[in-house]
Every structure is written in C-alpha cells, then in structure tokens.
Amino acid sequence: MILDLFCLDGRAAVVTGASRGLGRAVAEALAEAGADIVLTATRPCAQTADAIRALGRVAVDLPADVAAPDTPQRIVAATLERFGRLDILVHNAGVIRRADFLNHTDEDFDRVLDVHLRAAFRLGRAAARPMAAAGGGAIVHIVSMLSFQGGIRVSSYAAAKSGLLGLTRAMANELAPLNIRCNAIAPGYMATDMTAPLRDDERRNAGILERIPAGRWGRPEDLKGAVVFLASPASAYVNGAVLPVDGGWLAR
C-alpha cells in the first residue's frame, strides 16, 4: 500500500534547530510517522521532546552549538549509542543577521555561514559514514527562498542558503551510489520568531502577502508532509531535489 512507504517505524533521526518553529514541526512530523528522534539546538528542546514522547516515540534532547567543530561527531555518536543506527538527518538550525550590506560585519557573516553551511557539511559527512555502512539513509537540508533570490539586508543569509542548496546537490551526486539521498526543502515566508521583524513591519508584511498566491504566511506545520516524504521510502527515486513549500511565492 502506498501509505506504507511513508512509514518511518524503527528509524532513528537527527533534527537540528529543533527547539521551536520549523525544527519542532519537522521533528514532530518524523515522530508522527514512527521515527525516534535526537533533538539538538543551542537551547534545550524540552517542549519538542515532550510532544514526541506523548506520541509514544523516543526523544533525546542534546543541547549543542551545531557550528562548533566537535558537535557533528558528538551528535552522531550520541545517536548511534542510543539507537544503534542513524537513518535520517534534517539540518534545520539557522540564524539570521539583518544589516545593510555596507555595514554587515565579518563576525555576523561568519556566524551565519558557520551555522547554515559549514555545520551542514560537517554534520552531513559525519552522518553519511554510518548511513553508508548500514546500507543507506536520507539527508534533508532546510534551505530558503533566498536560495533563489538575494533578499534585502540579509546578504550573509542569502549566501549561506544559496550555498546550502549547492551543497545539497553536490552531496546527492556523491552519496547516491551509497544509497543515501540528499534533498532540500525551501520554506516560503513562515510565521516564526525569525520572521517576526518582517511581519511587524506593516509595509514589508503587506508586500510579502501580496506576492503569495495562497494569501497567507506559512505555518511550521506546513512542512510536515514534505519532510516525511523526503525522509521516507516514498521518495526513493528523488535525489538532489529542492521542494519549495512557499504558497506559490516562486511561481508569482
């Protein structure tokens, strides 16, 4: 049956940036499909963990700065120790720094690239090794509309998310022979803490809504179906793809 292909029973997943917003929704979706989850973020993921345990799944809360050089291997080791396997990795952790290009600092640029891009490289490499040894897995990167566009006052974020989409495709090319699929989800304008400054700006908010054919900001739960699809056998022949979940933003 087709619905059986979306089942994640017995799988172990890692979700970064899982304390709130998109990361929490992604982790809950994987758990709803049957996976046990290692949750990581710079702050504890207690609420997400409680929601997953309420579903009858196992949640491991592992606070960490994903950009620290030793964090990726620590996350993978903790996952293997607890579950004996690692089947799914979703790299969602993110930060944003808003500033005019002429005033954007080196420190802010480096921090944004470290969290979004360098961490994805290190964590993907660390996760792919046990996946390959076990016969395969699925890696999903959360990219952005700014993987396609330049944005305003977010040059480091646009650079990081564009790079992350390129990394997704490069990883897909090399990991496919190992039965590891690497794909991306590009959320549109989502109502999260990160976008609060845009929603609070009456002019920007109106301009964004005017362009979205769906006529509303996205909600974190709008990502649930997409991530389960890309993490599950239902997408067995999907590799190196990016799935926009944007209410039609890119089509306008």
Residues recognised as catalytic: 157
Kindly write down the DSSP assignment for every residue of 42-81, as one continuous string: SS--HHHHHHHHHTT--EEE----TTSTTHHHHHHHHHHH
CA distance 90 to 27: 9
Q: Which of 155, 20, 166, 141 is nearest to 88 (CA)?
A: 141
Match 């950009």 to its residue by tokens. Answer: 67
Cβ–Cβ under 8 Å, residues 78 and 62: yes
Supply 181's token pair.
């699929």
Cβ–Cβ under 8 Å, residues 17 and 93: yes
Cβ–Cβ under 8 Å, residues 88 and 8: yes
Paired with 218 in beta bridges are 190
Cβ–Cβ under 8 Å, residues 226 and 245: yes
Cβ–Cβ under 8 Å, residues 82 and 38: yes
The burial of 70, by beta-carbon neighbours within 10 Å (0-12 exposed, 13-18 middle, 19 or more buried), is given as: exposed
